Structure 1
Amino acid sequence: MRLAIFDDWRLGLVGAGGDTIRDVTAAVPDRRDADPHGAGWWLRLCRDLSALRPALAEAARQAHARPLREVRLRAPVLNPGKIIACASNYAAHVAEMRDVVLPRHASAPPSWLLDFDVFLKAPSSISGPADPIVLPALAAGREIHHESELTLVIGRGGRDIGEDAALSHVLGYLIGLDITERGDGDRSRRKSHDTFTPLGPWLTTADEVGDPQSLDIELRVGDAVRQKVSAGDMVTPVARIVSHASALMTLHPGDVIMTGAPPGVGPIVAGDLVSVSISRLGHMSIPVRGAGSPT
C-alpha cells in the first residue's frame, strides 16, 4: 500500500502508477475531525495497519480515483513522538565531512562528531512535499545544506528489539530531507528549524518495498546531480539502526527514523529547486525560499 495524507489531513491510497489517489478516510476508526494536532488516528493506524488493511482496501475499491495533481499532499506522518536521525552512516559522507565541510564551518569539531550515532530532531520541523523549504532569518550568514535520506516509520513499537526482528517493526518507507544549518552548535538545534524535515510524497508499506538496502537515492539541485547512492552503502543498515535506537529509547508507533545522509551534501539558496527520488518510493521536488518570501 501507498498511504498518503492529503488536503485537510484525509487518508488516501495512491495507485500503482503514482498518479491517482483514492480517499479511504471513511475506513479509519475514530477519525473525528481534521485537526492535525489531535490526529491520534494516524498513530493507531501505524500500530494496527495489519488489521485495518481489508477495510482500507475495500474503501479504495469503492472510492473514485482522483488525479494526484488535484490534491495537496501533506507529509505522510502525523504527530510522531520523535524523529530519530542518524549521523555518519555513509563512509564517503564521513570523509567529506572530515575533509571539506567541518573545516569550513566548525571551529574545532570533536572527533566523536564523525562516529555513527543517533540524535533527535524536533517534530515541528516536518513539512510536506507541497511545502517550500524556508531558510531561517536566524541562520543568516551560514550555509544551509541538503541531505537526502531514506526514512522509515515505526509500526509496531518496542524496546530492545533484536536486529533479526527489527524490520518487522517498520510500517513503511518514504523520502526524507534532513536540511541542516552548518556551523558550530548543537546538531539537533541546527537541524530543527521549521520546514527542515520535508517528508513525502507518501508512505510505501514495508511489504511492497522489500529489502531497504536495495533502494537507490538521488538528489538534484536544479539540473545538477548532487547525491547518488545505493542504500546498501550504509555503514549501519536499517535493521541495525532500528535495533540500536530501540536499545536507547522505546520506539512507539508513528515514530520517524531518518537513516543518514549520503555523500554529496551541499548548499541550497533561495530560488533553488531540490528534487529527490528513491527507487520504489517516488519523487518530490521542493522549492527553496528565503525568510519572509511570499508563499
Structure 2
Amino acid sequence: MKLALFDDHRLGVVSADDATLVDVTDALPWPHDADPVTAGWWRALCRDFPTVAPRLREAAATGTPRPVAAVILRAPVLGPSKVVAAASNYGDHVAEMHGVQQRTLGRVESWMMEFDVFLKAPSSIVGPGAEVVLPPDVVAAGHEVHHESELVVVIGAGGRDIPVESAMDAVLGFTAGLDITVRSAADRSRRKSYDTFSPLGPWLVTADEIGDGSDLDIRLTSGGQVRQSVNTRDLITPVPQIVAYASTIMTLLPGDVLFTGAPPGVGPIAAGEKLEMTISRIGSMAVTVR
C-alpha cells in the first residue's frame, strides 16, 4: 500500500500508477489531528498498521479518487521521535569520501569510514516540492553542501534489541530521502540537521510490497545530469541489520525514520538547482535549492 500525507496532513492511499489517491482519513479508528506536533494518530497507525490496513483498503476501494497533481504532498512521516542515519554503507561511497575529505577538510578521518549510526534533527524534515535552504553561515564560510540520496525506512512497531531475523516485523515501510550534508569539521549531527536538510517523499510504500528493500534502484539527477545511480543490493549493511543494530543502541519507536546510507556520487549543490530523485517501486520527488 502507498500511503501519502497531503494537504492538511490527511491520509491518502495512492493508486498503483501513482496518478490518483483516495482520502482514507475518516477510516482511521482515531480522531484526525492536523497539527504535526500533536498528531499521535500517525504514530498509532505506524504501530497498529496490520490491524488498521483492512479498513484503509476498503476505504480506498470505495472512495473517490483525486489526481495526485491536485493535492499538496507532505513528508510521509509526522512527528518522529528521532531520525537515525547510517554512515559509510556503500563501498564506493566510502572510497570516494577519501577524496572528498581531503578536499574539504585537508585530511581523512579514518573513523568516519566505518559503518555506524548517528542522529539528525526531526525538525530538518520537509516534503516533496520543498526548498532546501543553504544556511547563510555555511555559505559565507565557503563550505560545500552535498546531496546524498537514500532509501529511508519508517519504523512500525519498533522495539529494543530487535533480532535480525524479525527486524522487518518492526518496519512499516519505505520512502525516498535526501540527506543534505555540510562538508566541514563539525559533528555529523550538526552538519546534517539544518532545517530543510531531510526532504522525504513522495509517499511511503509499506514493507509488504517492498520486502526488505534489498533490490531497489536509486537515481538522482540535476538539470538532466545523473548525479547518483545505485541499487540497494550494494548496501554493506542491509536494512534488517541496520534496524537490528540501531535497536541495540536506542529503542526504535513507531514512526521513527531511518536513513540507510549515502550511495556514491555525492557532490555539491548550489542555489537554483532542482534535484530530482527516484527509487524504483516507490516513486519520485523533486526539491529546489535556495
TM-score tier (shorter): over 0.9
* 2:36 aligned partner: 36
1:47 and 2:47 are equivalent in the alignment: yes
Once the two structures are TM-superposed, the CA of residue 262 in structure 1 deviates from its matched residue by: 0.3
The TM-score with structure 2 as length reference comes to: 0.97
Write the mapping of 1:129-168 to structure 2, written as runs, cut at 5 A.
129-140=128-139, 141-168=142-169
1:255 and 2:256 are equivalent in the alignment: yes
2:103 aligned partner, one-letter code: R
Contact 2:212 2:239 survives alignment (8 Å): no
Note the residue ranges of structure 2 that are not aligned, 5 or more in a row.
none
Farther off after superposition, 79-88 or 108-117 = 108-117
* 2:21 aligned partner: 21
Farther off after superposition, 63-72 or 27-36 = 27-36
* 2:100 aligned partner: 101
* 2:233 aligned partner: 232
* 1:292 aligned partner: none
**SS at structure 1 position matched to 2:102:** helix
Mapped partners of 2:100, 2:114: distance in 1: 15
* 2:275 aligned partner: 274
State the Cα deviation string for residues 66-110 of structure 1 (Å, max 9, x = none).
000000000000000110001000010001001x11011124443
Runs of 4+ off more than 6 Å: none
Indicate how the Cα distance of structure 1 residues 33 and 169 shifts in structure 2: closer, same or farther if over 3 A, else same. closer
Once the two structures are TM-superposed, the CA of residue 142 in structure 1 deviates from its matched residue by: 1.3
1:145 aligned partner, one-letter code: H
**SS at structure 1 position matched to 2:133:** strand
Mapped partners of 2:183, 2:109: distance in 1: 15
**SS at structure 2 position matched to 1:203:** strand
Contact 2:12 2:23 survives alignment (8 Å): yes
* 2:121 aligned partner: 122
* 1:67 aligned partner: 67
State the Cα deviation string for residues 115-170 of structure 1 (Å, max 9, x = none).
11100000000000021111111211211100000001110111111111111211
Indicate how the Cα distance of structure 1 residues 70 and 192 shifts in structure 2: closer, same or farther if over 3 A, else same. same
Once the two structures are TM-superposed, the CA of residue 186 in structure 1 deviates from its matched residue by: 0.5
Note the residue ranges of structure 1 that are not aligned, 5 or more in a row.
290-295
**SS at structure 1 position matched to 2:37:** helix
Farther off after superposition, 44-53 or 104-113 = 104-113
Mapped partners of 1:263, 1:248: distance in 2: 27
Contact 1:87 1:260 survives alignment (8 Å): yes
Contact 1:31 1:39 survives alignment (8 Å): no
Mapped partners of 2:32, 2:63: distance in 1: 20
Farther off after superposition, 28-37 or 136-145 = 28-37
Farther off after superposition, 134-143 or 67-76 = 134-143
Mapped partners of 1:31, 1:105: distance in 2: 49
Once the two structures are TM-superposed, the CA of residue 232 in structure 1 deviates from its matched residue by: 0.6
* 2:247 aligned partner: 246
* 1:175 aligned partner: 176
Write the mapping of 1:2-17 to structure 2, written as runs, cut at 5 A.
2-17=2-17
State the Cα deviation string for residues 27-49 of structure 1 (Å, max 9, x = none).
12323431111100000000001
Contact 1:106 1:183 survives alignment (8 Å): yes
1:288 and 2:289 are equivalent in the alignment: yes
2:244 aligned partner, one-letter code: S
* 1:293 aligned partner: none
Once the two structures are TM-superposed, the CA of residue 171 in structure 1 deviates from its matched residue by: 0.5
2:159 aligned partner, one-letter code: G
**SS at structure 2 position matched to 1:172:** strand
1:8 aligned partner, one-letter code: D
Mapped partners of 1:81, 1:33: distance in 2: 17
**SS at structure 2 position matched to 1:139:** helix
Mapped partners of 1:244, 1:230: distance in 2: 22
**In angstroms, what is the RMSD of aligned CA positions?**
1.0
Name the % identity. 58
Once the two structures are TM-superposed, the CA of residue 211 in structure 1 deviates from its matched residue by: 3.9
The TM-score with structure 1 as length reference comes to: 0.96
Mapped partners of 2:55, 2:91: distance in 1: 44
1:39 aligned partner, one-letter code: A
